[in-house]
Structure 1
Amino acid sequence: MDPLVMAAGTALVTAIATDAWQQARAGAVTLWQRVHPERVVAIEAELEHARAALLAARRDGDVRTEDALADEWRGRLAQLVAADPDVLAEIRRVLEQVWTPLLPPSERPAVRHITMHATATGSGRVYQAGGDQQITGP
């Protein structure tokens, strides 16, 4: 799955648990409006249901439900990209301009996305890390 889609799914689910959840919902609706306008009403209802489930899970300390909701919305976003690959640019915009700013600062590192490319030729080695990296050995 595209790392951007993974970050967006996490950010969406985290953002719907905030007081500004209607902005988070509006960002998601714009994506569906572009690809599947006939599904907008259903998506709005599903987001409200997801919010209720998420708030209950957080109240009960149920991290599995939160993880499952994030996986579900990552999958839904991936389906949008499969239906219209051009929506990926809109997902990036919504992630950066709508969902991430709604998150508490402590939640933002969990949704960052990193894209790295490297090429090694001959006997070259490439070491890349999106966070801490520790290399041991010769």
Structure 2
Amino acid sequence: MDPIAVAGLAGTALVGAMATDAWQHARDGVVALWRRVHPERAGEVEEDLTRLHTLVGDGRGSADVGEAMVRLWQVRLGDLLLADAALTAELTDRLARLTDEIAAGAAASDGQTIGSQHLEAHAADGGRIYQAGRDLNIAEH
């Protein structure tokens, strides 16, 4: 699997898990990856994740902050996966498994699925398209 695609999914799942019971497992898994590649920076990563979790837990994280955190962790995880060419495939597989575990844990704790979606639609002749990743309510008068 493409390391950048895995990093994208993992960043989304990690931030999504911050407000769920899956958080501890997610944090520990990400820190373990850093310990493997950059042990000298694992403590810093753990502190960053704890600080961000506190921000989300305190309700101070807006939707914009959440989106910024997703992008930040997608980049950080992507950099980690590409840091050592000899380990890239192994780390990509480990991160993909961790992402699946995070999503499963988060879904079990709050009934929601964490991940990404691709929606595509084409309208013609004045047709209407309504798409949603989850709930959609339409009131036409």
Same fold? TM cut 0.5: yes
Residue number in structure 2 paired with 1:36: 38
Q: Distance in 2 between matches of 1:10 and 1:19?
A: 16
Q: SS of the counterpart of 2:112?
A: helix
- From 122, 126, 131, the equivalent of 1:134 is 122
- Measured after TM superposition, the shift of residue 89 of structure 1 is 1.4
1:73-132 deviation per Cα after TM superposition (whole angstroms, max 9, x unaligned): 111101101203232111111111x21112234242xx147xxxxxxxxxxxxxxxx444
In proportion to residue count, which structure has more helix? 1
TM-score normalised by L of structure 2: 0.70
Structure 1's consecutive aligned runs of 4 or more residues displaced over 4 angstroms after TM superposition are none
2:26 aligned with 1:18, yes or no?
Answer: no
Question: CA 1:63/1:41 → structure 2, altered by over 3 Å: closer, same or farther?
Answer: same
Residue 27 of structure 1 contacts residue 99 of structure 1 at CA under 8 Å; is this kept in 2? no
Q: Using the alignment, how far apart are the partners of 1:61 and 1:26 within structure 2?
A: 22
The code of the aligned residue for 2:16 comes to T
Q: Distance in 1 between matches of 2:45 and 2:104?
A: 22
Root-mean-square deviation over aligned CA pairs? 2.3
Q: Distance in 2 between matches of 1:41 and 1:52?
A: 17
The letter for the 2-side match of 1:94 is L
Q: Which runs of 5+ in 1 are unaligned?
A: 114-129
Q: Does 1:51 align with 2:53?
A: yes
Specify whether residues 45 and 60 from structure 1 end up closer, same or farther in structure 2 by C-alpha distance, changes over 3 A only: closer
Paired letter, 1:24: A
Q: In structure 1, what is the equivalent of residue 139 of structure 2?
A: none
